[in-house]
Chain A
Amino acid sequence: MGLLRKIRTTGRVAEPAPPRPEAEQPLAAGELRGSVQVRCVDAGSCNGCEIEIAAAFNPLYDAERYGARLVASPRHADVALVTGPVTRNMAEPLRRTVAAMGEPKLVVAVGDCAIDCGEFAGGYGVEGAVADVLPVDLAVPGCPPEPDQIVAALRRVTGR
């Protein structure tokens, strides 16, 4: 019963939707039309970016309302959300994950590390940025990027 009271007193916590991002949709996303399944790949991040991605899907930011959903298998996914610099051990799994996705597919690099190795540039275990391993369609800068920026990038893909 405590839960019932909590639900009634809390009401809606999702923040009002910000206006739709101005930037145009990446080309491959045109086919998706309001439904995007997302698979996260941690290619060697410090987990800061993962926490922000999790926050983007919490009730407050509620990325699901724009039609994005996290899924458990790359076969179900349209978007690979890659975080962190690509380490030597994760380069091949990352390539295989993206190869397992059906067309149309997009790769979104989340965080400074994924864009240009950030904190970890020059590390002995680092193979390179995501763009050195795979073609990247969209990048979300920041260390870590704020949830609204991740949501805005996902909205550019869903077009909602």
Chain B
Amino acid sequence: MSAAVGYAAVAGQVVVVGAGAPLLTGWMRQVRARLEGRAGAGVLQPWRDTRKLLRKEPVTPVGTGPAFRAAPALLVATTVVAAALVPLLSTDTPVSSHADLIVVVSLIALGTLALALAGLDTGTAFGGMGASREMTVAALVEPTILLSVFALSIPAGTTNIPAIVTGAVHEPARLTSPAGLLATAALAVAVLAETGRIPVDNPSTHLELTMIHEAMVLEYAGPDLALVELGSQLRLTLLLGLLSSLFVPWGIATSASWAGLAVALVLFAAKLVLLGAVLAAAEVFWAKVRLFRVPELLAGSFLLAVLAVASSYFLSGAS
């Protein structure tokens, strides 16, 4: 019985992230369009785009090798595995004992690396430029994600994400401690950078010279492009979901029950819709920062993460 609920929770997480990712992107574009005074293409537009791309002719540019061909599938696969591991709906699943922080962060990093290699593999000027920028950003972002979650793992005494989330549900004081707040801020900036949003990267730019993520995927066409776009939508959903699980964990099922799972599902969707709307609204107000200022921004968020770990260590040591 409880095992069935656990498997249902894992399947539910994958399905919700998979089906919800294009909708979340469509929702964010719609919010943005409305704030700009536009009518907007509708929440379902990313689904239409994906449907059309899957029907288009696949194009493999001359001179590209295995790295270019494997990257889209690898990007989607790593994200789906991470979505199954991270406690988005339930902390009590058959895979929750494997959901280690370091595993999840390296899965995300593996997807980033695959895409950067694909960008280099095309041999075009913009592909290589995008890859080098992406790795610069990734080198600053991955440690920040690790450290800010470490700050939360010190009170929990483990790097297992479901255990951290369960601990926070039972002891909300951990989240409002200075360490919790600093870690929230650090992780939020890291998530923005990792998913290529303003102020680090502009997902709807047409200017090759300012691109980061887009520059790496300029050569993809048809079904491959559909996978790449789905992959980046999945990552956005996954990382926003992780953010909400870690810092607003209420509603996540901590025991195996169908009712708990249903409540978790509704609350998870509500949290993501809210978070997406806030992010889209914030993007209307922000400008993209100059590329040379991006490391400063990310170093700042890394500093916050270090402070979070330090305060978590000293404050919990004192008590």
Q: Give A residues with C-beta under 8 Å from B.
A: 3-4, 7, 10-14, 17, 31-35, 37, 59, 62, 64-67, 69-73, 75-76, 78, 100-104
Contact = CB atoms under 8 A, between A and B. Distances in A.
Given A67-B48, A78-B52, A102 B222 contact: yes
A87 B285 CA distance: 42
* Interface size, B (range): 35 or more
A143 B246 CA distance: 57
Interface in B181-237: 205-208, 211, 214, 218-222, 225
> A-side binding surface: helix, strand, loop or mixed?
loop
A35 B39 contact: no
B41 A31 contact: no
A65 B38 contact: yes
B55 A31 contact: yes
B51 A72 contact: no
B59 A35 contact: no
B208 A65 contact: no
29 contacts: A7-B35, A10-B37, A11-B37, A31-B52, A31-B56, A34-B48, A35-B51, A37-B49, A59-B36, A62-B33, A62-B38, A62-B40, A64-B40, A65-B33, A65-B39, A65-B40, A67-B41, A71-B206, A72-B205, A72-B207, A75-B221, A75-B225, A76-B220, A76-B225, A78-B56, A102-B58, A102-B221, A103-B56, A103-B57
Of B35, B39, B58, B208, most A-chain CB atoms within 10 Å = B39
B69 interface: no
A64 B34 CA distance: 12
Contacts of B205: 72
Nearest to B207: A72
Given A73-B219, A78-B52, A102-B59, A59 B38 contact: yes
Contacts of A71: 206
A12 B34 contact: yes
Interface string B266-293: 0000000000000000001100000000
A45 B225 CA distance: 31
B45 interface: yes
A11 B36 CA distance: 8
Given A65-B41, A78-B52, 10 more contacts: A3-B285, A7-B35, A65-B33, A67-B41, A67-B48, A73-B219, A76-B218, A76-B221, A102-B58, A104-B56
A18 B41 CA distance: 15
Interface in B118-153: none
A35 B37 contact: no
Nearest to A1: B285
Given A67-B48, A76-B221, A102 B56 contact: yes
Contact of B52 (A10, A32, A64, A101): A32
A32 B56 CA distance: 9
A75 B218 contact: yes
A28 to B, nearest CB: 11
Contacts of B38: 12-14, 59, 62, 64-65
A64 B56 contact: no
